[in-house]
Structure 1
Amino acid sequence: MISRRKFLGGATAAAAATGISLAGGRALAGSSNGSARAAASLPLKVVNNTGQFDDASIFLYILGEVDGKRVHVTPEGEAKPVEMGDNGGDGFTDYAISLSDAGNLQLPYMDGGRIYTGLGDKLKFKAVEDGNGNAALAYPAGWVESDPNWGVLHDCAEFTFKDSGMYCNTTAVDMFSVPLSITLKGQKEQTTGKLKSGGRAQAFEKLAGGPFGDLIVEDKRIIAPSHGIDSGRFPADYLDAYIDEVWSVYSSKDLVVTTNQGEFKGRVSGNTLGFTGPGEVTIEKPSTRDVLFCDGALAAPNDAMGGPVAAIVGAALNRTSLAALASQPTDDPSGFYQGDTVHEYVKVMHEIADDGKAYGFAFDDVAGFAAYIEDGAPTEITLSLDPLK
């Protein structure tokens, strides 16, 4: 699981793993403003603006980790540990909260939290044993055709809530399906994840045809190209030519990457991009899959040296800005997604966002482009299911 990192904001933190089948959790505790502390529970409102489903047809699942144990939240706001015996006769748990019966929901302190929404049918979560023999959950994997939730319209938002505050985001790292937005009230009021009018339909229209068209699953979802590679829906060499170009460019000039630790200068030798500066960092030449997943050769450890450098390089590769801009990171989006071969999926996710921010890949938070908000003294959070058009 890839941790969200506040590389340029002065703090780094790692999220707890939240499931077995789902990669790419982002919402973590970072730094918060002021000395106020968050109350031990937070009112959660869920608003149905879909225009197509009534409240009785929408099912909520609040899941995460408390004190190292996987939990689900009841309608009363109690975090109950997941147990193997929770699987029913069909082999799956039933932690569903119908939106029509949601009442006054409360979020307890929780790490690696997710709020899943299932529209038109319940989702199937299976209690399983993790590698240590503890009860865990197999989460929906909407990019896997054999997954029991393949036919259900669903999506999720992510959060970590603790005494230092609420940290939350919407996500399209794995797929794009249900338009979700989050409004967080506290020291100020903030909203993220809201789409432009007709944004969902625009995404399906813009990505139809070409290699990205095979990622569209009817009108249910658009699978992220990272997962598309693994399922044979997307070419595994899509970014190879661009990666070759980057390696060629920086074999004869320096790449400068600036983090909180200072300035790193990098130069390619063979297949290795080596950096000197506050510390020595090396990155092997990544594959297209490494770039899209922000993993493999671009795996970013939760440290002060290699992690931030890898994340910034990975973000610039996904944004196809690395070959042209030798000083990274850059916060000017006009230089993103240029050239003949670009990450159209992420480009479109940002184009349809009302504020231009989206979590289209795991390092999309570099330079502040992710659909992420936080508050050190939150008083209420609202999750809106926005129009399905």
Structure 2
Amino acid sequence: MVKRRSFLLGLAGATIPAAGIFTSRAFAGSAAGSGLPLTVVNNSGNYANTSVRLYIVGTDLATGKQCYVKPDGTLTPVSLGDNGSDGYTDYAIPLAASGDTRLTLPRMSGRIYVALGDKLRFKAVADGAGRPALQYPAGWVSSDPNYRVLHDFSEFTFNSGGMYCNTTAVDQFSVPLSLRLTGAADQSTGTIRPGGRDAVFSAVAAAPGFDKLVVGNKLRVIAPGHGLDAGLFSPSYYDAYVNQVWDTYRGTDLTVTVNSGTFTGRVSGDALTFNGPRPVSFSRPSTRDVLFCDGALAAPNDGTTGPVAAVLGAGFNRSVLAAQHNQPVTDARAFYTADTTNHYAKAVHSATVDGKAYGFAFDDVAGFASYIQDTAPTGLTLTLTPW
């Protein structure tokens, strides 16, 4: 199973927003070409092609170096000398004057950013090991130079095993983007229903305690975890629900089934401890731990603790963990029905035509993420959909 892990392999020490990217395993016998045709379609209805800029940035899988893609498809290492007189790089790829824009995506792991109306400001810096790296836009930080720029991004890993990609709202929701991946199959994800963008802003603004997550006049909505760090969201929001879960499983078994087997847990003292293929244990998580699926709910890529942590993180965000003693829950009708729930994730799921979105880091649990993959890809289309 492909899981969402730490953002962009090999970026330790760089100043990068806390987000995620797929780290994918190669599938034996598959062979993706050295470059994948990428088509960018501007159906936003609000901005002409001349007002849209594209940025493809990430990690060169062959060297581990941070890189960017030039308009001709060349994968180029980041250099500290790329910063201009204003202190920032200019890696923008302009769209075609009219119609669709056709590019070539090299093998790499990274993000495709779109910026509408203004350029994004990426800064080349030295990471903790002295290697060139990039400071990425952080639309949830008011002091970030890109805070007032309308932008969004999708994520991908394209390697010898194929293409693995997603649209994401783990950090923010702003520009509706959809992905179409062709190859062994023809798949799409991320499409926002008509009126869906406005509906997200309205739903988040109306949810108690979530209203401050709306930035500007529908510029973006930031995820509640980032809102918590910015002082815009309560750090105790989930505390009562976490206590309810802990109280429930002091006297009742919690069963979690993952690929490696079935785990049965109970709370003893202040820890939720499971027996199964191997013992795993979790301390009581904070609200921040729940929203970021981290801290007490950190999910190492170990096949046991990690998968169970992912299921618990999903159960907390979807508010199904206290009432449903067998996890993961696979019926979406049960999600987000409690008063204390991730109303942000609920809103972005409600806005998509297929109900799938990445509203938090482990939204892929039980298959509800806006994620697609293909072991024999022939093309990727990124569409700015209408709003």
Same-fold call, TM cutoff 0.5: yes
Aligned to 1:87: 83
CA distance in structure 2 between the aligned counterparts of 1:208 and 1:104, rounded to whole angstroms: 38
Compared CA separation, residues 47 and 208, structure 1 to 2 (3 A): same
Aligned to 2:21: 26
Q: For 2:343, give the aligned amino acid.
A: E
Q: Which moved more, 1:172-181 or 1:258-267?
A: 258-267
Secondary structure of the 1:104 match is strand
Aligned to 2:334: 335
For residues 10-89 of structure 1, the aligned pairs below 5 Å read 16=9, 20-30=15-25, 35-66=29-60, 67-89=63-85
Cα deviation, 1:332-352, whole Å, max 9, x if unaligned, reads 111111222111100111111
Q: Structure 1: any 5+ residue segments left out of the alignment?
A: 7-11
Indicate yes or no: 2:291 matched with 1:292: yes
Cα deviation, 1:46-65, whole Å, max 9, x if unaligned, reads 00011111101101000111
CA distance in structure 1 between the aligned counterparts of 2:114 and 2:343, rounded to whole angstroms: 26
* Structure 2 residue corresponding to 1:190, chosen from 187, 190, 205: 187
Aligned to 2:378: 379
Aligned to 1:242: 241
CA distance in structure 2 between the aligned counterparts of 1:316 and 1:148, rounded to whole angstroms: 35
Aligned to 1:266: 265
Q: Structure 2: any 5+ residue segments left out of the alignment?
A: none
Q: For 1:64, give the aligned amino acid.
A: G
**CA contact under 8 A between 1:168 and 1:373: conserved in structure 2?**
yes
**CA contact under 8 A between 1:273 and 1:282: conserved in structure 2?**
yes
CA distance in structure 1 between the aligned counterparts of 2:17 and 2:278, rounded to whole angstroms: 33
Percent identity (aligned): 54
- Give the drift of 1:35: 4.0
Q: For 2:141, give the aligned amino acid.
A: V
Aligned to 2:129: 132
Secondary structure of the 2:3 match is coil
- Give the drift of 1:21: 2.3
**CA contact under 8 A between 1:4 and 1:13: conserved in structure 2?**
no
- Give the drift of 1:130: 0.8
Aligned to 1:5: 3
CA distance in structure 2 between the aligned counterparts of 1:385 and 1:228, rounded to whole angstroms: 26
CA distance in structure 2 between the aligned counterparts of 1:267 and 1:15, rounded to whole angstroms: 35
Q: For 1:29, give the aligned amino acid.
A: S
Q: For 1:90, give the aligned amino acid.
A: D
For residues 341-352 of structure 1, the aligned pairs below 5 Å read 341-352=340-351
**CA contact under 8 A between 2:7 and 2:19: conserved in structure 1?**
no
Cα deviation, 1:290-314, whole Å, max 9, x if unaligned, reads 0001111001001111111111111
Q: For 1:277, give the aligned amino acid.
A: G
Q: What TM-score does the superposition give when structure 2 sets the normalisation length?
A: 0.95
CA distance in structure 2 between the aligned counterparts of 1:48 and 1:298, rounded to whole angstroms: 39
- Give the drift of 1:148: 0.1
Cα deviation, 1:64-98, whole Å, max 9, x if unaligned, reads 11121000000111100000010000000000011
- Give the drift of 1:206: 1.4
- Give the drift of 1:14: 8.8
**CA contact under 8 A between 2:41 and 2:383: conserved in structure 1?**
yes
**CA contact under 8 A between 1:173 and 1:359: conserved in structure 2?**
yes
**CA contact under 8 A between 1:226 and 1:289: conserved in structure 2?**
yes
Q: What TM-score does the superposition give when structure 1 sets the normalisation length?
A: 0.94
* Structure 2 residue corresponding to 1:154, chosen from 137, 151, 155: 151
For residues 212-251 of structure 1, the aligned pairs below 5 Å read 212-218=210-216, 219-251=218-250
* Structure 2 residue corresponding to 1:99, chosen from 73, 85, 95: 95
Secondary structure of the 2:157 match is strand
What RMSD in Å do the two structures reach over aligned CA positions?
A: 1.8
Secondary structure of the 1:208 match is helix
Aligned to 1:9: none
CA distance in structure 1 between the aligned counterparts of 2:26 and 2:330, rounded to whole angstroms: 21
Secondary structure of the 1:242 match is helix
Compared CA separation, residues 326 and 15, structure 1 to 2 (3 A): farther
Aligned to 1:359: 358
Aligned to 2:302: 303
Q: Which moved more, 1:207-216 or 1:51-60?
A: 207-216
Q: Deviating runs (4+, > 2 A) in structure 1? A: 12-15, 17-21, 100-104
- Give the drift of 1:100: 2.7
